[in-house]
Structure 1
Amino acid sequence: MLLLLFYCFLVVATINTLFYISFFKFLFSVEKAPQVRINQPVSIVICAKNEAENLQQNLPYILNQDYSDFEVILINDSSSDETLAVMEDFELQDSRVVVVNVESNERFWGNKKYALTLGIKKAKFEKLLFTDADCYPKSNQWLKEMAQGFQHEKDLVLGYGAYEKVKNSFLNKIIRFETLLTALQYFSAAKNRHPYMGVGRNLAYTSNIFYENKGFVSHMNLLSGDDDLFVNEVANKTNTSIVYSEESFTYSKPKKTWKAWFRQKRRHVSTAKFYKKSHQFKLGLFYLSQFLFWVLSFVLVVFYDWRLILATMLLRFAIQYIAYGKAASVFKEKDLLWLLPLQDLCLVSLQFVIFIFNSLSKPQFWK
C-alpha cells in the first residue's frame, strides 16, 4: 500500500512540476515592442455599485491619462449611496465623462452584466478598456500601454490587476499570492496560444467582438463572469494579446478580513465550472495535483522513506521557486517569495475549503 502511494506521489509531483515548467515560455520570453503604435480613441468603461468613495479617489487618475482621445463611461448599477451624485459631478466637470444610470430591473436585479451591456452600448469608440471603481492605474501611461495590445487582428487584451501591499498582514500576502498565481496561469496560457480568462480590473476588447458574440447572453443568468467567462468564450490563439509592462498595471485595495476575501473568492471560483471542458480539465488537474502533493507528502514523510520524499519535494520546490521567482519579478511582487511553501500550502487548503462550500451552496450577488 505504501509503495503504491509512493508511486502516486511521484506521478502527482511530476504533473505538478510540469505545470510550473509550462509557465517558462511566458516567464522567460522577451517582451516585443509593438509593431505599430496605436493611438486610436478608446472608451474606458467602469461599472460601479455603491462605490462613491472609491470613485472620488480613483477617477482623477483615470482622467489624467496621457492619451490623446478617450472617454470614460461611468455606469451606476442601482447604487443606494452617493455613487450617482459623484458620477454626475465628474460629468459636469469633464466633457469626457458619460454617465449611464441603471435603475433596478426585476429580471436583472443584481446582475452586473446587464449594467455593463447598457454602458457598452453607450460607448462611442470601438476599443473598450475595462476596470473597476476600486482600481487605479499604476501611472498615467496605463491607457497608452493597454491600447498597444490592439495590434493587427487582436481584439482582446489581457492586463494585470494587482492588489496594494499591506505591511504585517498574512492575509494580504495570501491575496497577492493567489493573484500572482492566477496571472501566471492566464498569461502563460495566452502566451502558449490557449487563452482562457482575464480579469475585469484590467481588460480590453473591441465592441465588434462583443456584439459578434452576443455579449454576455450565454451566461447572463450567472452572477459572475463578465470578465473570465466572456474571455473564455471568445478568446482564441489569434485574437488575443497580453500586456504586462509595469506601467500597464492597475491596483486595488485588498479585502481586510478573511471572511470578506473568502466570499469574494467563492464568487470568482464559482464561474470556473462554466469554462470550456478542456480548460476545466487543465485547471482541475493543476489544483488536484497541488492538493495531492501536499497530502501525500505529509503521509509518506512519516510512514515511508523520508529521504526519498524530501528529495522529491525539494526538486518540485526548486522548479516552483524558479517560476514564482521570475513571476514575482515580472509582476513586482518579490516580497512574496520569503514564505512561498507556507503560502502555497495555505492557498491549497483554502481552495479546497472554497470548493466544498461552493458544492454545498451558491455564492451571493456581486454587491
Structure 2
Amino acid sequence: MENGFFDKVEDNAAVRIWAETTQQEKGDSLTEGYVSELLDFTRVSVTQNNLQEMKEIWAQWDDEAKRLFYCHYGDLPYLLDVKIDERLFRALVQYWNSAYSYFTFGKVDLVPTIEEYTALIRCPKIQVDRIYSKAANGPAFSKRLMNITGMSEQWVTARIKQKGDCRCIPWRHLRDLILAHPDMKKRVDVFALSIYGLVIFPKALGHIDEAVSDIFDRLSKGTTPLLLSWFHSHFWKVEKVSYRVFSENYSPLKELAATPRRDDITEENWTAILQNLQEEDVEWRAPWMVPDEILYRCGDFDWVPLLGVWGAVGYAPLLVLRQYRSRQFTPPTYGLVQCEFVFTGNNYKRRVRKISNAWNQTRRMKKFAANPMATPEYDQWRI
C-alpha cells in the first residue's frame, strides 16, 4: 500500500497451511551451484578496535550524561565490555562458510531474530515494524556528519579519509569532539556513532565507515543492529551459564558483560562443540524475549527481507519458530537466498526500493505452543 502502513495479524493455523502449500508448490531455496554475492563482498575479521579510550570516556561521564545516552541509544555502552572470544568467532565463521549452513547446528536451526536484537539493545528508537533502508539519493557523507556532529562543512570535509574502497572518518577526531563539544547531546550522539562504527559495524580499524554514518543518521526510522551476545544466550549450556527471565529493568547486555567467560577453549574444540550440538544443548528462546506475535512476511515476499549496511539478506522467521516458543512447521523457502545482494552496481537501487515498499505491508502470526514442538511434516522436510 503506497498511502499507509499495513500490519495484518493472522491465525497460526492459516499461516501453517499457506506455508506448507507454498513450499510444496515452489520447492526449496538453495539451487545447485548458487554462490552468494555477500560472501565475496563482506569480510569478517576478528581483529578488534582498541576500545580503551571509549571505556575511559564513558567512566568519566556523570549520571546525567549516561541517562541521556540510555534514553536515546539504549544499552549500547555495555557492548564495550562484552569480551570477544576470537577463537569462538573464527570457529563460527569457518563452520558456517564451510557448508553454507548459516545458523544450522546439526539438526538445530537458529538465527538472530529481529525481536531478540531489539530486546538486547533496549533502544527506544528501534521499532520492529520499521527497517533501515539505504537512501538511494540521500545526503552526502559530509552532510550526514555535519548533522550528527554539529560541526561545520569545512571541519568535516578536512577530516574525511579514503580507506580502501570506502570513505571514513578517523575515530581520533570523533574522540576529540566527545571530549570537548560544548553540547552534551552532541557528545552523546558522536559517542553512539563511535560504538556503531567501531563495535557493531567495524570495517577499517580506527575509522567509522561512511555506510555506518548513513544507518546512524536514519536510526529514528528504525534499525536492529551482537552475534556473540545472541550466541551465548542460546547456547548457555555450553558454558553452564544461565540468564534471568525478562523484566522491564533487566539488561541482558549488562549481565552478559559481567559474566566471566572461559578462555581455555581452543578454536578446534569450539569447532567440535558446534558440530556436535544437540537439541538438548540449545536454549530455543532467548530468556528476555516474550513476543505474543511473530513478524513473518512482508509484501509479496514469502519471508522478511532485510536491508543492512552493505547489502541485503533474506530473513525467514518461519524457519525458527521454536525460538519464539511456537510450534515449528514447514516454512516456504523458495528464492530466499537469492534475496541476498550487495549495494553495488546500477541494479541494487531498484531492489532496495522493492524491499522498502514491501515493508509497507507486514504480516504477523499468532504464536501457537504445543507438544511436540515440531510437526511431522517439518521433521520429514528437514531430513
Shorter-chain-normalised TM-score: which range? Answer: under 0.3
TM-score, normalization: structure 2?
0.26
Greater RCO, 1 or 2 (C-alpha within 8 Å, sep 6+): 2
